[in-house]
Amino acid sequence: MKKTLPQLVIMSVLCLLAALPALAQEEIPAAAKERFKAGLALIEKADKSADFLAALAEFEAAAALAPTWPDSHYNLAQLAAESDKPAKAIKEYRAYLALKPDAADRGAVEAEMARMKELIALKRKVGLPGVTFAAMADGIWVLQVLPGAGIEKTGLRKGHQIVGVGGKPLAGNKLEDLFKAIEANNITDTMSRGSSERMYSRMTRDTKTQGPVVVLNVKQSRQQEKPFLILCKKEMFRSKIIEIEEDEFEDEVLKAPLPVAVTFWGDSCEPCKEFVPVLEAESAKYAGKVKFVNINVDGNRKLADQLAVKEVPALMVYKGGSAVATATGKLPREKVAEMLQDAAGR
């Protein structure tokens, strides 16, 4: 039972269709089938970033309603892998293999899990906290951007499509291709490195940020024929703060040897515009003494609900696996500094 999906569909999501015959053959709760089909429908019509987050939620619900259905975990892993949630992809692939220990595709799944681990390491090397992406057939979509984050200064916005880096096309590529292209920063179009530096200085009047210029070829929508250029410094992507998922919370926060400052954020967080630069400055000050992580509430709703996060930004400081301080809303610099100083000094 194959279907042809629109070009905008995440490439690996085509594998989702392979499970549809199983819906009729296996004893699966009707509610799980409906949530699965609802997620697939969202992907088929997707024209904005929120549709992919909603599709993920539907597939998560299907897996929760039918926890012994291997294909639900496999399909959720496929979607998570190309929606910038590699930790969730690893978790769901493991669940799939646990339910199908003799799976014929075990080798391929294990290779995909290894790719996800490399993806986590690569993104953290590049930086990019406060932004999530989705790999699409027609480029890399920006799903979420944290207000006040360094990358927001570049002009990159939620809903933008990155179709190239330095003139090299990204259409049909995976997320790691974007991160590798940013890291390599090979300008291949007619604009030389020297002219890109001059253009950056003229357009931004930024004389303080060091390092090479990265040129992103971006469209505001699929209908836009010719991409425009976003010029930014590579250092704008760098940060002492790392972006994590709820599936990494135990290892990255509760089991961390250092105190951990956890920031919960959303892309409509107005107070974040003032809070985030303060936290970036403090993260450099406390490097090696306090670990800093970001968690997006929209993409990690289960954890946000579990920790009763009702407002963003929410800053929680953990030590020895327990929360020792919490503050929410518009946080003055003095309050942030006090919380971090207490954590580092305990």
Domain architecture of the chain: domains with CATH:
11-124 (1.25.40.10), 131-237 (2.30.42.10), 241-345 (3.40.30.10)
pLDDT band at 40 (very low <50, low <70, confident <90, very high): confident
pLDDT band at 2 (very low <50, low <70, confident <90, very high): very low
| Catalytic-labelled residue, pool 163, 269, 276, 303 | 269
Mean pLDDT of 200-223: 83
Task: Tell me, yes or no, if 272 is annotated catalytic.
Answer: yes
Q: Provide the mean pLDDT of the chain.
A: 86
- Write out pLDDT tens, residues 42-79: 888 777 777 888 888 999 999 999 999 998 899 899 99
186-208 burial, b at 16+ Cβ within 10 Å, e below that, comes to ebeeebeeeebeeebeeebeeee
- Write out pLDDT tens, residues 176-196: 999 999 988 765 555 566 787
| Catalytic-labelled residue, pool 272, 279, 307, 343 | 272
Q: Indicate if the pLDDT at residue 336 is higher than 80.
A: yes
pLDDT score recorded for residue 17: 45
- Write out pLDDT tens, residues 225-278: 899 999 888 888 889 999 999 999 999 999 999 999 999 998 888 899 999 999
Q: Indicate if the pLDDT at residue 12 is higher than 80.
A: no
Provide the whole-model pTM: 0.87
Length in residues, the chain: 346
Min mean pLDDT across 22-31, 200-209, 330-339 is at 22-31
